[in-house]
A and B are shown apart, each in its own frame.
Chain A
Amino acid sequence: MIKRSIIALITSAAFVSTAFAGTLVINFDDPNPAPKAGFEAAVAAFEAANPDINVTVNINDREAHKTAIRNFLSANAPDITSWYPGNRMGPFVDAGQFEDISDLWASDENLSSNFEAIKPTMTRDGKQWGVPYTYYQWGVYYRADVYADNGLTEPATWDELLANCDTLKANGITPFTIGTKYLWTAAGVFDYLNLRTNGYDVHNALTAGEIKYTDDRIKATFANWETMLERCSFIDNHATMSWQEAIPPFASGDAAMYVMGNFAVAAFKDAGLTDDQIGYFPFPEITPGMPRAEEAPADAFFIPSGAKNKEDARKFLSFIARPEIQAAWNKTIGQLPPNSKSAINTDDKFIVEGFATVSTAAGLAQFYDRDAPAEMAKGGMEGFQEFMIKPERLEDILKRLDKIQDRVYK
């Protein structure tokens, strides 16, 4: 008797989980408090607007998600998963594991008109594959109080930046902090130097493998970097530090500037700094008159081709493209909404400045390790780190990068 009722229970449970067509499974990649709250609020709003759809959410740690996605896309695909645009979505698009949603981009009122700036990074082979829900600016974060104490102002040009560095060094302050143990922070500096020296098109051509690293234009970028290493020193021992471990010198005022993404502001505040002590300026102009491009990596949602409920998945993607949803979500996580009609949080000065910076940019780069294929990115970033420690090896490093490039893009 008991046995029978247990069997009945199990079968009914199995029945329940498959019975309703309106079950939507979403895999999300950030369990930190703010991103989780933002995501869950959006899901709750979606459920309220679509009472017949029952959403199941799986939240995984970001690093775990990066590994797990390779299994769950083929073995047990959810209806929606978070992932990253640019070259990061490349392997899955090429393997046919993401659903082509160009039709949604063409028909949806928001996607068709308010996402022009970010559309290229969601595009591969002329089709769109995902919907971005957030992005954030990069730039130079600096200690406003340290700047004021030394009589400095935000630099708009390369020469002004170098002059500021001279003053800071003369007063015993290291101009820049950085932690390159995990390599990508060095790529942020390279991206900006290259974007400012050669512009967006040359930078894109480099990460697309169309220009060699030994090209004179790229060498000019490294020459500027060498100047920066000499006159604007970075803190010592950066190769042993993560980006978080590089914050204490910044918080103590021993270092004045940090080339970083906006997510670092929360960490600065955790280290004891207040809004008034932190300032932001876009990376200064190097080549006069060069149109200003910015780093602005986006996060997005994709529909796996193995999804069971693609119809409701499209509904969800269309829903999160709405301006009011993107506004609320990004207010919670302190980032920028990709929908250009969406309101930004005007109480956050970094968001206001960041929005002014990226919305007027001539082009948006996704970051070196998303714009370049993974293997090139790894080799390139190791080269950048080596260059920062041993600038005299430049020739050798660039030749090595050319060799990797020859193989990766063949």
Chain B
Amino acid sequence: MADNFDTRSNRSWYSRNRQKIAPWIFLAPALIFFTVYVVAPIFQSLWISLYEWNGISEAKWVGLDNYVELFDDRRFYISLENNIIWLVLYMLAVPAGLFVALFLNQTIMGMRFYKSLFFFPFVISQVVVGLIFSWFYNPSFGAVGIIWEYFGAVPPSILGDERFVTYGIIFAGLWPQVAYCMILYLTGLNNVSQDQVEAGRLDGAKGWKMLRYVVLPQLWPATFLAIIVTVIGALRSFDMIAIMTQGGPYGTSNVLSYFMYETALSEYGFRMGYGSAIAVMLFVIMLFFISYFLWVMYKDEKGER
């Protein structure tokens, strides 16, 4: 009896608080890595953006000079404008993905095969997509050149002309992005309740009305996810630009992420402070979207929608 009592009072602090501690132990690895590799670098970038630093010499404190320069830099505005074009046009991936998903969501022989064909561009590397499209656009030996010449027209140099280049890259980027959205919608369509579709049918809904009022509301989670990944994909569009144009011709297809890389890390760059200032601007833009998404998710979870 006394023995028992003794052990209980001697139970360690750990065993007494096990219930409270356990979640933190499980969270610890993720928290530590998230802090070291995500949170800390954000503040580090903020800090470096106040310096002029080439990565090897002494860093020089310049205060807000990098930002003053950035707001007077034509390349910054070109990149920002291109980022906006990216954001707007990249959104086409969402309805296009929905359309393809609806089209593929039927039971025909060999449907799995067709689905995998549509999914294919998402599986291959963005670098490969970029390469394929730069050949495709090549006015002398690419498909574009051959088609234009067949009709007796002079083929445009899509990647060499400042008017077309950004649209050309976005179009290439849409190819895998549509596939991604399609997959999200295909899984979403699996969960569409057949009862509600039946009920809708009995009430005389079909075609557009069925889609708009019965199917789409049930696809909201998939749509939300598709919008998030597309916004983020548009803002971090980097590989395509690096492969297809390197921001050229003369910087007209630059976006903030590539501009940042070019300034901070490329052969003619190593202006760490200025590059960090660009990174901070990109972060602010992303933060705007991320906060919105978090807010929507929060409201969803509270069931206020």
Contacts and interface: CB of A to CB of B under 8 A. Distances in A.
Query: Which of A74, A183, A240, A400 has the most chain B CB within a 10 Å cutoff?
Result: A240
A240 B246 CA distance: 10
Interface in A162-192: 180-183
Contact of B56 (A63, A91, A237, A378): A91
Contact of A240 (B55, B157, B267): B157
Contacts of A377: 268
Given A91-B270, A375-B268, A385 B250 contact: yes
- Classify chain B: how many residues form its interface, as a range: 20 to 34
Contacts of B270: 70, 91, 374
A94 B138 contact: no
Contact of B249 (A74, A236, A386): A386
Contacts of B74: 400
12 contacts: A95-B56, A183-B248, A240-B137, A240-B160, A369-B268, A374-B267, A374-B268, A375-B269, A377-B268, A385-B248, A389-B160, A400-B74
A73 interface: yes
A74 to B, nearest CB: 7
A46 interface: no
Query: Which of B138, B246, B268 has the most chain A CB within a 10 Å cutoff?
Result: B268
Nearest to B268: A378
Contacts of B58: 95
A66 B267 contact: yes
Contact of B251 (A182, A236, A382): A382
Given A385-B248, A385-B250, A386-B249, A236 B268 contact: no
Interface string B255-282: 0000000100101111100000000000
B56 A240 contact: no
Contact of A237 (B57, B69, B160, B250): B160
Contacts of B116: none
B56 A239 contact: no
Contact of B269 (A182, A374, A389, A407): A374
Nearest to B138: A240
B88 to A, nearest CB: 25
A92 interface: yes
Given A67-B265, A237-B160, 8 more contacts: A70-B55, A91-B270, A237-B157, A240-B160, A375-B268, A382-B248, A383-B250, A389-B250
Contacts of B56: 70, 73-74, 91-92, 95, 97
Interface in B204-263: 245-246, 248-251, 262
A236 B161 CA distance: 11
Contacts of A322: none
Interface in B52-102: 54-58, 69, 74
B179 interface: no
A381 to B, nearest CB: 8
A292 interface: no
Given A74-B56, A386-B250, A237 B267 contact: no
A377 B262 CA distance: 13
- Classify chain A: how many residues form its interface, as a range: 20 to 34
A239 B157 contact: yes
Interface string A67-78: 100100110000
B257 to A, nearest CB: 17
A66 B270 CA distance: 11
A389 B134 CA distance: 19
B249 A239 contact: yes
A91 B245 CA distance: 28
Interface string B39-57: 0000000000000001111
Query: Which of B139, B159, B248, B269 has the most chain A CB within a 10 Å cutoff?
Result: B248
Nearest to B137: A240
B187 interface: no
Interface in A93-133: 94-95, 97
A385 B249 contact: yes
A369 B266 CA distance: 13
A386 B248 CA distance: 10
A238 interface: yes
Interface in A376-410: 377-378, 382-383, 385-386, 389, 400, 407
A92 B69 CA distance: 25
A95 B268 contact: no
Nearest to A397: B250
Contacts of A70: 55-56, 270
Interface in A342-392: 369, 374-375, 377-378, 382-383, 385-386, 389
Contacts of B159: 239-240
A322 B270 CA distance: 36
A-B residue pairs, 8 tightest by C-beta: A378-B268, A386-B250, A239-B160, A239-B249, A237-B157, A240-B160, A95-B57, A382-B250
B137 to A, nearest CB: 8
B57 A91 contact: yes
Contacts of A369: 268
A70 B56 CA distance: 7
